[in-house]
Structure 1
Amino acid sequence: MNSTAIADDIAQGESFEQFMNSLRDPAFAAPIVSARRYSEALHIDMQTLAKQAGVHRNTLSRTPASESVQRFLREALRVIRAATDANGCVQHALFWYRNEPLSEFEYKTAEQLVSGGRTEDVLRYIVSVETRAAAA
């Protein structure tokens, strides 16, 4: 699946399950997330993804199943899933994850926070926003 197809699927309102399925790496028997497909879905280059994951850029192409790469991708996807559950749309969740400055976190984005190892803080933030919205 190329980046245009992934972007088109997301734009057409695919479910999170469909989004996750589009990220599966068919080159491996093991259930791993494709770093390439993830980068295409988020419209970032592999060097940027490597920097976010805290690995050398060659790690993504040579050992994409490495624990460090997969751990980062899983953490990012946890936040994207929570954001999707909160607003009901993968496309909106991806936009929020990459672009929305969060005042509670010195105006950093969720993407920056996950890259900095603060996944749990972002998840708690999403839950608190949902709780406030439900109470209103």
Structure 2
Amino acid sequence: MNQGALRPEVLSAADLIDRLCPANGAPYSVEHYAEIFGLSPAVFTRQVAAYRRSQPDAASASDAEAIQRYIADVLRVILVVAESGVAVERAITWFRLEPLPTFEQQTAEQLISQGQIERLLQFLASWQGGSQG
């Protein structure tokens, strides 16, 4: 799979959520997530493992619960960025690839894997309020 390749049919936040929610009733599809975000299964597994190590409550959760929490946290970030008027595809590209000077050039994806969701959301709220460059 092409690392970083995005699925062009994901056009809105609602489309993204619909695409991630499988018909079988599970909250989020790992396969669809990996496809949309351009991740190999190995990379996704490493991200979730790092996330579990960084989150006290995720460390004791089942694998399935930790995966669902991770995807939910990623979606929180993507949706906040999309709410500011950024296209979902661009929000995903930013999330995966854009180094953030405020966080020592780490990407939002790296920050989520490190369990820094609240810091990242605070940063985005500040950015949307005009406090960040």
TM-score tier after normalising by the smaller chain length: 0.7 to 0.9
Q: Is 1:34 the equivalent of 2:29?
A: yes
Tell whether the 8 Å contact from 2:78 to 2:91 is kept in structure 1 after alignment: yes
The Cα RMSD (Å) is 1.9
CA distance in 1, matches of 2:31, 2:70: 13
Deviations 1:11-58 (A, max 9, x none): xxx2101111011122x334x100110010010111101110118xxx
Tell whether the 8 Å contact from 1:97 to 1:111 is kept in structure 2 after alignment: yes
Displacement of 1:85 in angstroms is 1.1
Distance 1:52 1:15, change over 3 A: same
Q: Which residue identity does 1:111 align to in structure 2?
A: E
Q: Which residue identity does 1:35 align to in structure 2?
A: V
CA distance in 2, matches of 1:95, 1:87: 14
Deviations 1:92-121 (A, max 9, x none): 100100011000000000000000000111
Q: Structure 1, unaligned stretches of length 5 or more?
A: 1-5, 56-63
The structure showing larger relative contact order (alpha-carbon pairs under 8 Å, at least 6 residues apart) is 2
How many percent identity over aligned positions? 29
> Which residue of 1 is the match for residue 38 of structure 2?
43
> Which residue of 2 is the match for residue 58 of structure 1?
none
Aligned partner of 1:23 among 8, 15, 20 = 20
Q: TM-score, normalised to structure 1's length? A: 0.78
CA distance in 2, matches of 1:18, 1:116: 27
Aligned partner of 1:130 among 125, 128, 131 = 128
Displacement of 1:65 in angstroms is 7.8
Runs of 4+ in 1 over 2 A off after TM superposition: none
Q: TM-score, normalised to structure 2's length? A: 0.80
Q: How does 1:8-87 map to 2 (within 5 A)?
A: 8-10=8-10, 14-26=11-23, 28-30=24-26, 32-54=27-49, 66-87=64-85
> Which residue of 1 is the match for residue 106 of structure 2?
108
Tell whether the 8 Å contact from 1:75 to 1:114 is kept in structure 2 after alignment: yes
Task: Tell me the number of residue pairs that the alignment of Structure 1 and Structure 2 aligns.
Answer: 115
Deviations 1:41-93 (A, max 9, x none): 010111101110118xxxxxxxx981111011101111111111123310110
